[in-house]
Amino acid sequence: MLEQSIGCEQWMDKENCLTTGQLAKRTGITVRTLRYYDQIGLLSPGGHRTGSIRLYNMKDMERLQRIQMLKYLGLSLQTIMDILDAESPSNGEIRHSLQAQLDVLQRKIAHTEHVVHAIRDAMEMSAYGSDWNHLADVIQTVQSEQNWGEQYRTANRLQTRIHLYDKYSTNPQGWHRWIFEQLEVQPGAHILELGCGDGTFWIRNAERIPSSWRITLTDMSSGMVEEARCRLGSNNPQFKFLSVDAQQIPFHEEQFDMVIANNMLYHVPDIPRAIREMHRILKQGGIVCTSTMSTQHLQEVEHLAVSFDPELHVLDHAIKRFHLDNGGDLLSSCFSDLRLLRYEDCLLVDEAEPLIEYIISTPMNARERLVGAAIDKFRDHVNRLLQQNGTLEMTKENGIFLGRK
């Protein structure tokens, strides 16, 4: 029978696609479910043979995998459709989507463990009668971190930004590896990190961490703390994890040999107060390490966006609160022997899609403005610039302040 292709030449090669029945057999999802996904537009195959036979390719398989994972998180099909339509990955870039899925699943595992512990505590107390406090704890624990759709969106956006840096940065050493080499810390040190995020700094330096170090990882977000705990190992005695506000650090004076604050002080409402807290908990002669960037960091991305739409913004203005030019003055009120060390790097981008995904992943207004026909026009705009220039060079100006108490 003559086969007809719609939308893509690859449909001419039937070895590269699966019928609905073949896909159902391969994945264990029923034909009825696949047809329903097609009917509501959640997973519509990109081609078909003459007649009614639908054909699915690898891109469709990737979308189906994401659908099933988001269903596992408990999201509705409409929510899943909204997420996937807004943040679909580029062809061949499934890896950072899978990493985002792994991150949010680890966060859900940690949340489930908290619920289990809360229920066990309530069960123990139930032997003595009903207890308002323990039952309230169970309710609060179940209620917390419930928006798994937003958790996934956040993780996916973070992985999108990491992907751009990893793929196009010109410095082969890597930012986290470079910072670690600047730390002048003795064996047996007690180290505190503020704003640890998902623990990436320690994961990327795992084999270089002295076994004698004691490391306390903290973050304002309890979800981030739990994700770091899952990634680094909750049973690893070298690490402790705690949700902490940098403006009110719950530790004794002169308790730590080093305090690290990587790319986070510009988000703290009262920066001077956080700096005083860092000074208070450091031992005499202890080291502070804070990283940030310059106000020129990735300005070319902002210029590119504005050249398309004057109202389109990419970069977070919070960086103006603590950056490479004013950070030394803010830290000098508490710390001496301050040194600014710069990380030499830039981005050389030669593809449109990873750059567009980065722009949409940022916390400004790109996700709202680059929708519908606008995203297609913006893609054409970026591709024209790439054709004219070959590559787009983006300034990366990162660095760290090292000081002593």
Residues 71-89 have a mean pLDDT of 76
pLDDT of residue 180: 96
3-state secondary structure of 55: strand
pLDDT of residue 10: 42
- String of DSSP letters for 96-115: HHHHHHHHHHHHHHHHHHHH
pLDDT value at 152 more than 80 = no
State pLDDT tens for residues 102-126.
767 766 776 677 677 777 777 777 7
pLDDT of residue 362: 81
pLDDT of residue 50: 52
User: How high is the mean pLDDT of the chain?
Assistant: 84
pLDDT of residue 91: 43
**CA-to-CA distance for 332 and 219, rounded, in angstroms?**
24
CA angle at residue 254 from 293 to 192, to 5 degrees? 40
Query: Residue 74 — φ and ψ, nearest 5°?
Result: 95, 15
β-sheet bridge partners, residue 341:
400
pLDDT of residue 317: 87
| Beta-sheet pairing, 18-19 with 54-56 | antiparallel
**CA-to-CA distance for 277 and 280, rounded, in angstroms?**
5
Give which of 82, 104, 165 is closest to 349, Cα–Cα: 165
pLDDT of residue 4: 39
The answer to whether 184 touches 287, Cβ cutoff 8 Å, is: yes
Given pLDDT bands bounded at 50, 70 and 90, which one contains residue 12? very low
pLDDT of residue 251: 95
* DSSP assignment letter at 296: T
CA atoms within 13 A on the CB side of 120: 6
The answer to whether 49 touches 1, Cβ cutoff 8 Å, is: yes
More confident residue, 183 or 12: 183
Whether the model clears a pTM of 0.85, i.e. scores above it, the answer is no
**CA-to-CA distance for 3 and 232, rounded, in angstroms?**
52
Give which of 16, 68, 21, 26 is closest to 43, Cα–Cα: 68
